[in-house]
């Protein structure tokens, strides 16, 4: 009960405040769009840039950590794609969008604050190692699969260009890329710049959580409930269970295990809807799965916090 009250509920209360503010008309859709644009295009890229530019890459890029997490993520993508295609009869493009929902856990808006509240700020290094390649990996997989499906019978030579263009139009990936460039290049950062970035970083997660609540109110469930519940089950149960098994098999240390499991156990991120909307496929499933899984993850995260060392 202490874990629920002290770790999980404060995060979800901020989301709830955003949901309530939009529901009761205190904050309109234009405000939500502006807030999410600020967080996703500016504040969170600054957070990722600062974290990765100062991360000890040699120490934190642990093969057991990344292998466990991303093998689970890929399994989730395959389960979502094939389940949508063969269990629910969706076309291939819809199925890829649904698979992306099962692939893209909410590592930033939920994974970071819950890990920090549960284990302290020093526990976030493994989270940042996962997040450093999360958007590039997930968008790379999703965009490649979607472009292959859309390009049936077309030129294979144009495929890499389409994938790279779509990926590097994403502000999160730009923030990550610049962070790696500064880190690997040993580029010194003036104090006045780092102080300004830190101001942006402090606003990132609270503003994004509040805005997420408003987004979730907008995309309430409407139909397709069997498909939505399937996505929720893959995201909240299958992905973390696979990560748990692989992490134990590879003797991942406790700090890495906590970060990997908590990140894997998160609901699909709002980027699941962004991806579906980008291609105009399975938008209702994506938006509703984000909402339902975010609500249910209060319980599943509570269970994992009780199980983890």
- pLDDT tens per residue across span 99-110: 999 999 988 778
Average pLDDT of every residue of the chain: 85
Query: With contact defined as beta carbons under 8 Å apart, do 257 and 193 qualify?
Result: no
**DSSP 8-state secondary structure symbol assigned to residue 267:** P
Query: In the predicted model, what is the mean pLDDT of residues 264-284?
Result: 83
Nearest-Å Rg of the Cα atoms of the chain is 19
Please, what's the b/e burial string for 185-216 (b: 16 or more CB within 10 A of its CB; e: otherwise)? eeeeeeeeeeeebeebbebbbebbbbbbbbbb
Measured between alpha carbons, how far is 141 from 180 in angstroms, rounded to an integer?
A: 21
What's the pLDDT band for 7 if we cut at 50, 70, 90? low
**Is the pLDDT confidence value at 58 over 60?**
yes
What's the pLDDT band for 56 if we cut at 50, 70, 90? confident
- By mean pLDDT, which of 52-56, 116-120, 251-255 is the weakest? 52-56
pLDDT of the residue at 11: 74
The residues with which 105 forms a beta bridge, in sequence order, are: 268
Query: In the predicted model, what is the mean pLDDT of residues 296-309?
Result: 86
Alpha-carbon distances of 102 from 108, 110, 182, 205, 231, rounded to whole Å: 16, 16, 32, 23, 6
Segment 193-244, tens digit of pLDDT: 889 988 988 888 788 888 878 877 876 666 688 999 999 999 999 999 999 9
Segment 132-145, tens digit of pLDDT: 888 888 888 888 88
Measured between alpha carbons, how far is 214 from 28 in angstroms, rounded to an integer?
A: 9
What's the pLDDT band for 48 if we cut at 50, 70, 90? confident
The residues with which 268 forms a beta bridge, in sequence order, are: 105
**Is the pLDDT confidence value at 169 over 80?**
no
**Is the pLDDT confidence value at 87 over 90?**
yes
Measured between alpha carbons, how far is 53 from 192 in angstroms, rounded to an integer?
A: 16
**Is the pLDDT confidence value at 153 over 90?**
no
**Is the pLDDT confidence value at 96 over 90?**
yes
Query: In the predicted model, what is the mean pLDDT of residues 81-105?
Result: 94
pLDDT of the residue at 158: 65
Residues 6+ apart with CB under 8 A from 81: 95, 96, 98, 99, 145
Measured between alpha carbons, how far is 66 from 10 in angstroms, rounded to an integer?
A: 28
Helix axes 254-264, 125-150, angle to 10 degrees: 40
Please give the span between the terminal C-alpha atoms of the chain, in angstroms, as a whole number.
17
What's the pLDDT band for 159 if we cut at 50, 70, 90? low
Segment 69-80, tens digit of pLDDT: 999 999 999 999
pLDDT of the residue at 122: 81
Assign residue 280 a region: left if phi > 0, alpha if psi is -120 to 50, beta otherwise?
left
Count other Cβ atoms within 10 Å, centred on residue 251: 9
Measured between alpha carbons, how far is 270 from 215 in angstroms, rounded to an integer?
A: 8
**DSSP 8-state secondary structure symbol assigned to residue 88:** S
The CATH class for the domain spanning 2-307 reads: mainly alpha
Alpha-carbon distances of 29 from 40, 156, 277, rounded to whole Å: 16, 40, 17
Measured between alpha carbons, how far is 304 from 262 in angstroms, rounded to an integer?
A: 7
pLDDT of the residue at 57: 67
Query: With contact defined as beta carbons under 8 Å apart, do 34 and 163 qualify?
Result: no
This model's pTM is above 0.75: yes
Q: What is the DSSP string of 158-176?
A: THHHHHHHHHTT-HHHHHH
Helix axes 283-307, 225-233, angle to 10 degrees: 30
Query: In the predicted model, what is the mean pLDDT of residues 162-179?
Result: 76
What's the pLDDT band for 155 if we cut at 50, 70, 90? low
Closest CA to 156 of 146, 147, 167, 169: 147
Measured between alpha carbons, how far is 34 from 162 in angstroms, rounded to an integer?
A: 28
**Is the pLDDT confidence value at 4 over 60?**
no
């Amino acid at each position: 009960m202490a874990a629920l009250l002290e770790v999980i509920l404060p995060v979800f209360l901020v989301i709830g405040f955003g949901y309530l503010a939009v529901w009761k008309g205190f904050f309109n859709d234009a405000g939500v769009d502006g807030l999410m644009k600020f967080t996703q295009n500016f504040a969170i890229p600054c957070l990722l840039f600062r974290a990765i530019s100062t991360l000890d890459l040699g120490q934190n890029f642990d093969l057991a950590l990344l292998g466990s997490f991303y093998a689970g993520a890929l399994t989730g993508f395959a389960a979502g794609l094939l389940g949508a295609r063969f269990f629910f009869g969706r076309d291939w493009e819809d199925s890829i969008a649904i698979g992306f929902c099962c692939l893209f856990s909410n590592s930033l808006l939920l994974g970071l604050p819950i890990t920090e509240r549960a284990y302290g700020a020093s526990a976030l290094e493994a989270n940042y190692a996962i997040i450093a390649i999360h958007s590039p990996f997930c968008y790379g997989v999703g965009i490649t699969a979607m472009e292959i499906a859309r390009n049936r019978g077309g030129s294979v030579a144009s495929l890499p260009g389409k994938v790279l263009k779509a990926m590097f139009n994403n502000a999160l990936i730009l923030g990550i890329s610049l962070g790696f460039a500064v880190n690997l290049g040993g580029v010194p950062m003036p104090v006045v710049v780092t102080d300004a970035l830190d101001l942006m970083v402090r606003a990132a997660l609270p503003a994004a959580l509040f805005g997420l609540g408003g987004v979730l109110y907008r995309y309430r469930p409407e139909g397709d409930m069997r498909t939505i519940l399937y996505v929720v089950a893959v995201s909240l149960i299958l992905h973390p269970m696979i990560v748990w098994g692989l992490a134990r098999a590879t003797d991942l240390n406790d700090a890495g295990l906590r970060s990997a499991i908590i990140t894997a156990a998160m609901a699909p991120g709002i980027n699941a809807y962004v991806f579906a909307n980008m291609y105009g496929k399975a938008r209702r499933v994506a938006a509703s799965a984000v909402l339902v899984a975010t609500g249910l993850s209060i319980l599943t995260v509570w269970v994992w916090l009780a199980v983890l060392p």
